[in-house]
Amino acid sequence: MNLTDYLDPVSLERPPEYLITGDNIFGKNIDIYTPDFQIKDLDQYKLILLGVPEDRNSFNKGSSLAPEKIRAQLYQLNKHDNAIKILDLGNIKQGNTFTDTYFALKEVIGALSSYNCIITLIGGTQELTLAAFQAYEDIKPNINLVTFDRTIDLIKESVKSTAESYLTEILLKKRKLFKYCNFGHQVHLTDKRNIDLINKLFHDAYRLGEVRADISMVEPFVRDADMVSFDISVVRHSDAPAFINPSPSGFTSEEACQLARYSGISDMVSFFGLFEVNPKFDNNLQTSNLAAQIIWYFIDGVLSRNIEVPSGDNKNFKTFIVGNSDLGQEITFYKSLISERWWMEVPNPKDKKPVVISCSQADYKAACEQEVPTLWWKSFQKLS
């Protein structure tokens, strides 16, 4: 396929939108698809930026303006110390209908997947996650998805998939989803039936207060994720006003950047999407600036990746075996002596070889207290 058929190049002739001054800023240290730039040798790029100006299937009209506003702020931030090759591929062309845009996004992600790059998507509205997920279904046997959202976008009565119900397609109709987790939902905004359904399907959802009490709990989940979808409405109104119906509660800007960095550090994450910024409601580009910082810290996490493969034969890991009388079997844990991260084995009834999943020290301590870690139990149920 010819990528340029689906893409609009970045235009840099827009002062004061793009204040690209100095040699040490982000925009001067990446490659940018402009009208005179030839797209080639994509395998040289570690990370690709891609905007999708689409909001026609959502109530949050105006979020289609976000890619250009966020890009303008991102380009002005300082470059990262450890350089990787980054390409800004511009924007997906808006189709005649929103479904045409979804198709184009799915095709582009499918094409980019062969280059083993990390895709950072700037939306647009969050149901674009579904198009990206469908692209991943063509290239991966199982998919782990993490979302950051103030509510669970799962409305079973919905006739069509929208930004408020796209998870219905992924959780109830897509067979390649293995693990799903949402972080940051607010119970006063979330239908309890949706939480009950998440639990029934052996997936996870952690409310805002739980995550803020110990933000590090997010790390094991994103460590196993293939895709991360970040809805800006999960950030409180005072820090991110650019949303049609913002909430006074939510993560702080600093916490949002920490969550993005956790996502970047993950060895597995190859898709990070940021959605729902609506510049029509912004205050002095405050939310666009925060969105740019979120992307910057995701990239900073990518630069800090340390690929680790836990096993009993690896001298960089310490093995702990914990017996459990209720299970009638042992649970094997691995702790990295380098990063101090934890993993555990879950038996796979369909295969003699167990599955190794990320976990936390708290899971190990629970097992030592003869409790079956929730993450172990849910993973076992899905494997069964």
CATH assignment at residue 13:
3.40.800.10
Average pLDDT over residues 159-180: 84
Predicted confidence at residue 15, as pLDDT, reads: 44
Domain-located, residue 333: yes
Q: Where does residue 250 fall: left (phi above 0), alpha (psi -120 to 50 degrees), or beta otherwise?
A: left
pLDDT of residue 119: 98
In the chain, % helix, strand, coil (3-state, to 5) comes to 35, 25, 40
Question: Helix, strand, or coil here: 208?
Answer: helix
Same domain, 359 and 231: no
For residues 297 and 321, state if they share a domain. Answer: no
Please, which residues have CB within 8 angstroms of residue 59's CB and are 6 or more apart in sequence? 163, 164, 244
Give the chain's domain count.
2
Residue range 212-247, pLDDT digits in tens: 999 999 999 999 999 999 999 999 999 999 999 989
| Separation CA 205–CA 183 (nearest Å) | 6
Query: What would the pLDDT profile of 99-118 be if each residue is shown by its tens digit?
Result: 999 999 999 999 999 999 99
Q: Is 310 inside any structural domain? A: no
246 and 102 inside one domain: yes
- Mean local confidence (pLDDT), 343-372: 93
Indicate whether 245 and 165 sit together in one domain.
Answer: yes
Q: Residue 376 domain-assigned?
A: yes
Which pLDDT band, with edges at 50, 70 and 90, does 23 fall under? confident
Task: State whether 91 and 123 are in the same domain.
Answer: yes
Percentage of residues of the chain with pLDDT beyond 70: 96
Longest dimension (CA), the chain: 68
Q: Residue 352: what pLDDT?
A: 81
**What local confidence, expressed as pLDDT, does residue 349 receive?**
87
Range of the domain at 340: 317-383
Domain shared by 298 and 341, yes or no: no
Assess whether the previous peptide bond of 124 is cis (omega < 30° from 0). Answer: yes
Per-residue pLDDT band at 14 (split at 50, 70, 90): low
Is 251 within the bounds of a domain? Answer: yes
Q: Are residues 297 and 364 in the same domain?
A: no
